[in-house]
Amino acid sequence: MSFKLTKKEILKEVVKCGKDPSYFLKTYARISHPMHGLILFNTFNYQDDLLNDFNDYRFNIINKGRQLGISTLTAGYIVWMMLFHRDKSILVMATKFETAGNLVRKVKSIMKNLPDWIRIASITTDNRTSFELSNGSTIKAASTSGDAGRSEALSLLVLDEAAHIDGLEDLWTGLYPTLSTGGRCIAISTPNGVGNWFHKTCIGAETNENNFKLTTLMWDVHPERDEEWFKKETRNMSRRQIAQELECNFNTSGETVIDPDALAWIDGNVTEPKYKTAFDRNFWIWEEYDPASSYLLTADVARGDGADYSTFHIIKLETLQIIGEYQGRPAPDMFANMLNQIGREFGNAMMVIENNSIGYTVLDKLIDYAYPNIYYSVKSTHEYIEQHLAEHRNSAVPGFTTSSKTRPLVVAKLEEFIRNKLITSYSSRLANELRTFIWTNGKPQALKGYNDDLVMALAIACWVRDTALQTNQRDLNYKKAFVDAIITSRTSFDTKIKGQIGYKEDGVLDKMSDAENIYKEFMWIIK
């Protein structure tokens, strides 16, 4: 093309390209197409808009679907920045070095396939994942596991697949000062659940709580995609994959323990409590005590001086509504006093305390207070045992033991209760914890930097309600039936002698026979 242009025309074109990155890319940049090889980069309208944002805003965050050409667009923008500006320092970061390196190689490919005359700066240092131009501009790839970039003054920081970078919140604290001299940042990713840096930054940008410009690009922003394309593309994809890969949906995209539809149901029940009380106003109450009802109180105990919270739920057993909830950081002795008072106010609610190291401190206090309804279990089997029996058995321990054996059981019971809408919560705090309660290497736990204290207290409650309490109630029913049978046998017996007590006309039910049958059915209780 250069042979058609005079020096004056070339200079004019260079100036025009330097002012307009969109024009530069559309006119001279060639990209690699999987089917057609090298082709001109004919940007779509949404890509042009994004290029303008790259220029107009220092901080850009893009929540995008797959295969929208955003990585390629970012590579083209980097080429423009390096070529038409001197001494630019650009760093591309990703969880994996290879991911960051791929973007650098795209930059290099676009650079090398430009017309010679418009390459006003040449590559002087060329490595596999970095290179330098004769005008002093540099680019390099780095993984987030190293300290790259933290001591440098950056012109542009690109965070590729930002939602998938573990610990990015801490990394950002170290990287942000490198941009203090006017540097820019472009964060690109598909969503990956809630609670991570990418999600929080997107939400903050949406509510104008940070300096980022948010752009959300769903699958249908591409002009060549329609419903038929969507149906074909999603035929073999799960709901979660669709949300992550195409719909830019945070709530549905993460590996949450609780199904997204169930999370939406939980969110729909959230209401403000009637009362916010206790010394720190963190005891929330949605319904007053009903003397005709029975209550279960389950608690998770923290030290009171760390990141974790001491929590408890008050559950109305007849309706399985969480009518009270606490989340705070009192000292263990204060927490024990609170539990003692509140438990008694709610009809001596059954008290289930997780008996970790700090939990035992609280349990000892409750025993000193002579609280009348503490949950006990057998050490070896974790089976529930009534308090009056437990006091005479060495194998019985107060509280609930969370272990590698019991944790999966209680979490599974929690998931079952929520999925089947068996338990009702009104708490925004619990809803927030459930959204960040995820599968990590096959284990259910809170996302790094978040808490699961309310979640685990509720999980224990669901398990106790559906196992220990149900079993206890069944045993009580059996014993009652057996006693009734004995009483019946004492007061009614079959006789054919008219005038004696117990005489019955023909055709009347033989109560003695019935009692005998009941005795046989429940004789295992005596054994």
CA dist list (Å): 443 to 163, 230, 335, 433, 437: 20, 33, 29, 16, 10
Comparing 269 with 438, the larger pLDDT belongs to 269
Lowest-confidence segment of 159-163, 429-433, 486-490, 518-522 by average pLDDT? 486-490
In CATH, what number is assigned to the domain containing residue 134?
3.40.50.300
More confident residue, 239 or 105: 105
Answer for the pair 258, 415: CB distance below 8 angstroms, yes or no: yes
Measured between alpha carbons, how far is 456 from 460 in angstroms, rounded to an integer? 6
Are residues 343 and 215 both part of a single domain? no
Q: Whole-angstrom Cα distance, residue 463 to residue 460?
A: 5
User: Higher model confidence: residue 213 or residue 248?
Assistant: 213
Q: What is the pLDDT of residue 22?
A: 92
For residues 79 and 218, state if they share a domain.
yes
pLDDT of amino acid 305: 67
Closest among 21, 36, 126, 134 to 79, alpha carbons compared: 21
Using alpha carbons, select from 257, 92, 228, 212 the residue that is nearest to residue 160: 92
- pLDDT higher than threshold 90 for residue 253: no
**319 falls in which pLDDT band (50, 70, 90)?**
very high
Sheet strands side by side (includes 384-385):
384-385, 376-378, 396-398
Residue range 358-381: average pLDDT? 90
| Alpha helices, DSSP H, located in 113-259 | 168-175, 197-206, 227-233, 239-242, 250-253
The pLDDT-based confidence of 489 (bands split at 50, 70, 90) is very low
What confidence score (pLDDT) does residue 518 get? 56
pLDDT digit string (tens) for 449-468?
789 999 999 999 999 998 87
Confidence grade of residue 492 (pLDDT, cut at 50, 70, 90)? very low
pLDDT at 131 over 90: yes
300 and 185 co-located in one domain: no
126, β-bridge pairs: 131
Distance CA 196, CA 203 (A): 11
Are 431 and 267 within 8 A, CB to CB? yes
In this predicted structure, the answer to whether residue 300 has a pLDDT above a threshold of 70 is yes
- The whole-angstrom separation of Cα 319 and Cα 286 is 14
Chain-centroid distance of CA 279 in Å reads: 30
Straight-line distance from the first to the last Cα atom of the chain, in angstroms, rounded to the nearest whole number: 100
Does 338 score more than 90 pLDDT? yes
Cα Rg, the chain, nearest whole Å: 34
How much is the pLDDT for 236?
Answer: 86
Which tens digit of pLDDT belongs to each residue from 151-182?
678 999 999 999 988 888 888 988 899 998 89
Kindly state the tokens that stand for 337: 């006093």
Domain that holds residue 485: 471-526
CB atoms within 10 A of CB 434: 23
Average pLDDT over residues 303-320: 89
| Judgement on whether residues 49 and 132 belong to the same structural domain of the protein | yes
| Model confidence band, residue 519 (pLDDT cutoffs 50, 70, 90) | low
Supply φ then ψ for residue 252, to 5 degrees. -95, -10
**Pair 391, 476 in one domain:** no
pLDDT tier at 479, thresholds 50, 70, 90: very low
Final residue belonging to a domain, choices 223, 251, 279: 251
> Which of 195, 194, 135 is CA-nearest to residue 450?
195
| Confidence at residue 249, expressed as pLDDT on a 0 to 100 scale | 81
Mean pLDDT, all residues of the chain: 85
Domain of 274: which CATH number? 3.30.420.240
pLDDT band at 76 (very low <50, low <70, confident <90, very high): very high
Report the alpha-carbon angle 75-241-233, nearest 5: 80
189-224 per-position pLDDT tens digit: 998 877 789 988 998 998 899 999 999 999 999 999
Write down the pLDDT at residue 386.
Answer: 80
- The pLDDT score that the predictor gives to residue 60 is 97
- Angstrom distances, CA of residue 156 to CA of 226, 378, 506: 35, 61, 100
- The answer to whether residues 464 and 489 belong to one domain is no
Cα distance between residue 507 and residue 106, in whole Å: 95
In what helix (H) or strand (E) does residue 446 lie, and over which residues does it extend? strand 443-446
Q: In this model, does residue 144 exceed pLDDT 90?
A: no
pLDDT at 248: 86
Contact 321, 330 (CB under 8 A): no
- Which residue would you say has higher pLDDT here, 100 or 252? 100
> 465, 462, 464, 522: which is closest to 488 by C-alpha?
522
Q: What is the pLDDT of residue 470?
A: 60
* pLDDT mean over 263-286: 94
Residue 181: burial class (beta carbons within 10 Å; 0-12, 13-18, 19+): exposed
Helices (H), 399-442: 406-419, 428-435
Better-predicted residue by pLDDT, 215 or 438: 215
Residue 517 has pLDDT above 60, yes or no: yes
What number of other Cβ atoms are within 10 A of residue 79's Cβ? 25
Which is nearest to 455 in space by CA: 257, 252, 167, 262? 257
Shared-domain flag, residues 462 and 476: no
Q: Region 508-527: what's the mean pLDDT?
A: 53
Q: Are residues 461 and 512 in the same domain?
A: no
Q: What is the pLDDT of residue 3?
A: 52
Alpha helices in 42-189 (DSSP H): 45-56, 70-84, 97-112, 168-175
What residues are paired with 61 via a beta bridge?
187, 214
Beta strand pairing status for 283-285 and 275-277? antiparallel
For 27, the token pair is 């006119």
| 515 contacts: CB under 8 Å, gap ≥ 6 | 485, 486, 488, 489, 492
Domain boundary among 203, 230, 251: 251
Number of structural domains found in the chain: 3
Q: Which of 217-221, 287-291, 395-399, 418-422 shows the lowest mean pLDDT across its residues?
A: 395-399
Specify the pLDDT at position 404.
83
**How confident is the model at residue 309, as a pLDDT?**
93
How many helical (H) and strand (E) elements, i.e. helices and strands, does the chain have?
19, 21
Do both 226 and 314 map to the same domain? no
More confident position, 407 or 3:
407
Beta bridge partners of 276: 284
Using pLDDT thresholds of 50, 70 and 90, give the confidence band for residue 520.
low
Tokens 């203090």 correspond to: 180
- pLDDT at position 522, please? 54
- Among 229, 251, 273, the domain-final residue is 251
Could you tell me which of 472, 462, 464, 453 has the C-alpha nearest to residue 422? 462
Domain identity same for 407 and 447? yes
Residue 158 three-state SS: strand
Q: How much is the pLDDT for 128?
A: 85
Task: Indicate if 289 and 353 belong to the same structural domain.
Answer: yes
Residue among 330, 321, 335, 327 at smallest CA distance from 287: 321
Could you tell me if 240 and 91 lie in one domain? yes
Task: Assess contact for 200 and 167: CB atoms under 8 A.
Answer: no
**pLDDT digits over 415-433, tens only?**
999 999 999 999 999 999 9
pLDDT of residue 385: 79
Instruction: Give whichever of 23-27, 236-240, 439-443 has the largest mean pLDDT.
Output: 23-27
